């Protein structure tokens, strides 16, 4: 079996380099759900939006749209989970604070807050 040394094989098409802001967005989104809950999520949303805009304006010269979108989604999930946790803590404080007032017999201080029955 002989090989033709003159055969030309085309190299695979070069893919566009990934946008560095998209990579930062994905990393911040992952950190926003693990180590840096609020700050990482906010950074992921900001950098994800910036990366998507940069990639669209590059006209195909930059890649990483999937990473930018993933960072953006992870950032919003982190922000929503933070808001839910904040509401849960607030409800816990309100409920336990109200029970503490009632158990101490401090009815006069909470009467304006109760509906008239």
In the three-class reduction of DSSP (H, G, I as helix; E, B as strand; rest coil), residue 78 is classed as helix
**4 inside domain:** no
Query: Could you tell me the residue range of the domain that residue 70 belongs to?
Result: 20-113
This prediction's pTM: 0.73
* CA dihedral of 63, 69, 75, 79, whole degrees rounded to 10: 160
**1 inside domain:** no
Strand partners, 63: 18
Q: How many CB atoms lie within 10 A of CB 98?
A: 13
Over residues 5-20, the pLDDT tens digits come to 666 777 777 888 999 9
Per the structure, how many domains does the chain have?
1
**7 inside domain:** no
Q: Which two tokens stand for residue 89?
A: 């803590």
**43 inside domain:** yes
Over residues 17-72, the pLDDT tens digits come to 999 999 999 999 999 999 999 999 999 999 999 999 999 999 989 999 999 999 99
- CA–CA separation, 36 and 27 (whole Å): 11
Q: Which two tokens stand for residue 3?
A: 């090989």
């Amino acid at each position: 079996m002989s090989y033709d040394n003159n055969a030309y094989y085309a190299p695979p098409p070069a893919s566009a380099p990934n946008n560095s802001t998209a990579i930062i967005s994905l990393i911040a989104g992952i950190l926003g759900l693990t180590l840096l809950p609020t700050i990482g999520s906010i950074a992921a949303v900001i950098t994800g939006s910036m990366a998507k805009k940069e990639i669209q304006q590059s006209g195909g010269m930059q890649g990483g749209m999937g990473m930018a979108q993933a960072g953006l989604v992870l950032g919003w999930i982190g922000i929503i989970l933070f808001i839910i946790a904040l509401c849960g803590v607030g409800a816990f404080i309100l409920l336990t604070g109200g029970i503490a007032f009632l158990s101490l017999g401090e009815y006069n201080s909470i009467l304006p807050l109760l509906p008239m029955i």
